[in-house]
Amino acid sequence: MEELEGALIVMQNGRSPGPDNVTNEMLAHLGFQAKRKILGLFNTSWKTGLVPSNWKKAILISILKVGKPKNKGNSYRPTSLTSCMCKLMERMINKRLVWYLEKHNILMDEQAGFRQFRSTEDQVAYIAQTIEDGYQRQQHTVAVWVYMEKAFDRVWKKGLISQLMQAGVSHNMLKWIQNYLSQRTGRVNLQGRESRQAILKDGVPQGGVLSPTLFLVFMNSIQNIIKPHVKAALYADDLALISSEDSCGTAQVRLQECLTLLEQCTDDWAMTVNAAKTTYSIFSLSTKIPNLRLRINNSLLEKGNYPKYLGVTFDPRLTWCKQIETVQKNAWIPGHVDIFGNDVADQLAKEGGMMEQIQHNPSYNEAKTLINSALDCHWRQEHPQHNSKDAIHKLSRAEQVTIF
């Protein structure tokens, strides 16, 4: 009962129900006796390894992507509506599975996706530090940004079960997951009209609570491609391979070995690398940067000077100018053509300047801001190569726009 109560607490209200029309709000307001009945149902499903067929049905709807034209098919993002009852049981099972995987260090260290105390910031900082270390050692750092084609939707289910067995998952857990993945069906709902039911053969269930964890287990299959002298950063299916060497040629050899192994691995596990969208970048303080010949799937990789990884844009000298421009663009309010000439902003600034100042002791956040400012000044003095006045000015302007 404790596991059930814990799963109910974290369920979010306002989510659309699945084909059974049971909502999270209904489950959250159940009385003690009703919860006991549900717990009995869950225990029966767990012991027998059988998942009700209604729990394996999905309603597929399409959501228009922001800023995309309505008349193009690839402008829509599909999403699945599945049983909230099933998601409740999934949440309980997922907690056990995550505990087992983390306790026994099953997941590869390079993987940060969907893991507690790990984030996109960790991976971006790790890559940036690797590049910075290369600068300090006067080395060239080459990174390959691997684009996996629809990896989540194309997970090979038999391969996933094999990975779970290799990880030591067995008995009730393995039987339940096997049945959960089998004979799944879905139908498309478009403006109230539904299509015929179709079997969903590949991929982990979209929108499923268990799906992210199962996907991480499946991605464990690529851990053997990482060789000495090559570092990797992985967030779900976003993979970056990095090598720092005295010459770009040596780094190319190291990375090509990994790419060749990745090509074989993806063939074995029914995954696809999109060579056209996979690029490489060189980070170096040298003015002479060669073009490399890195291949995957018999295709030469293109060079990208400003790659984007997990939403952050890198540049060859790690000045972050492009990233700051992006932040500025996203923060810009169209009405503020020039913050210093904007009448409304000017008036607010004048009124604020004339207000009586009240003396007070600085709060924790204010003190933290002052300390960060002092550290920032120290950084600029110690690392002038990263001090771009134009970029800093742009970021400052973006902050002013956000304030007003």
Residue range 73-131, pLDDT digits in tens: 778 888 889 999 999 999 999 999 999 999 999 999 999 999 999 999 999 999 999 99
pLDDT-based confidence at residue 404 (cuts at 50, 70, 90): very low
- 89-103, 111-125, 221-235, 338-352: segment of lowest average pLDDT: 338-352
pLDDT-based confidence at residue 287 (cuts at 50, 70, 90): confident
Q: What is the pLDDT of residues 183-198, one digit of tens each?
A: 999 998 887 888 898 8
Q: Which residues of 171-204 are buried (b: 16+ CB within 10 A; e: fewer)?
A: eebbebbbbbbeebebebeeeeeeeeeeebeebb
Q: Which domains does the chain have, with CATH numbers?
A: 2-106+157-201 (no CATH), 120-146+221-313 (3.30.70), 321-352+367-403 (no CATH)
Could you give the percent of the chain with pLDDT greater than 90?
60
Q: What is the pLDDT of residues 45-71, one digit of tens each?
A: 999 999 999 999 999 888 888 778 888
331 or 95: which carries more pLDDT confidence?
Answer: 95
pLDDT at 340: 46
Calculate mean pLDDT across residues 23-39: 92
Query: Does the pLDDT of residue 335 top 60, yes or no?
Result: no
